[in-house]
Amino acid sequence: MHDKYLQFPVYQVDAFTREVFRGNPAGVIPHADGLTESQMQDIARELNNSETAFILKPTSTDHDVWVRFFTPYTEVPICGHATISAHYVRARIEKLPACRVLQRTGAGILPVDIVPDNNDYKIIMTQGKIRFGPLLEHNHIQTLLRALDLNSEDIDDRCPVQVVSTGHGKIMIGIKRKEQLDALTPDMGILKELGKEIGCPGFYVFTLDSPTPEILVHGRMFAPGIGINEDPVTGNANGPLGAYLVKHRLVKHNGTYFQFRARQGETIRRPGEMNVMVDIENNEPSRIRIAGEAVIVFCASITTACP
């Protein structure tokens, strides 16, 4: 091939599932050195997944890899399902043993644990610092209810509407019934404008009304402000939700640790599940980890001009 062009392998991965065409799809470019930021954005737009992860060589000795995450429209600091996907691909390519990898991200340097599992891998991601934002003001809640076509009586009284972040904030919205969750058809235009006004584009609607004992939470995540009308299975929503559930005393725990399983993506035929693990100190959440599986759907290559 002419010297002016480079080829980059690209993987399509479904995360939080072991079944293709389920879970949350992500693009992964495992050897992204040589791409410009503009080219990364173009590739993410071309693949048109909610996020694409670009794995780069480390820039210093305090981390093993540098991972950048792009939606089709913008770079984001961190992404749960794309982290699971990126490290799953890397583990498969390099045939990694059980180990810990330190990844540099826009949310800081965070550990990722590679866990061999029945000739496959499970990936455990430690998320960033837990941050609780203010409760939403009454006028914003009214706008939110209008966007979701809900009444105030539909909101779970135990659940304050609040922004929570472990690196990429989401607005937590607890509702009473799973039937209502499944029936939501949000007004994306209103959500987009509300996200701009609040300064947080992601809206995670969840319920503790679960028909399945092993599943604590069912949820749906909407982020039209960054080009994602509905995200199938969201690590950066369910992780912060774990902190939120402990913070607001919505679950029982032993004082040091709480774990639950979350399910998402059912209404858009992309169901997936993850384990959320919350470390607790002085009855407050102190660290969040999420664990998930993945499956490679296909591998191809992209040819792009040298920068």
Whole-angstrom Cα distance, residue 305 to residue 307? 6
51 catalytic? Reply is yes
CB neighbourhood size of 7 (10 A): 10
Whole-angstrom Cα distance, residue 1 to residue 17? 37
What's the half-sphere exposure (Cβ side, CA atoms, 13 Å) at 121? 28
Burial class (CB in 10 A: 0-12, 13-18, 19+), 9: middle
CB neighbourhood size of 301 (10 A): 9
Catalytic residue among 37, 46, 51, 214: 51
Whole-angstrom Cα distance, residue 50 to residue 231? 7
Whole-angstrom Cα distance, residue 10 to residue 93? 12
Q: What is the DSSP string of 178-229?
A: HHHHHH----HHHHHHHHHHHT---EEEEES--SSTT--EEEEEEEGGGTEE
Q: Are 287 and 239 in contact (CB under 8 A)?
A: no
| Residues tagged active-site | 51
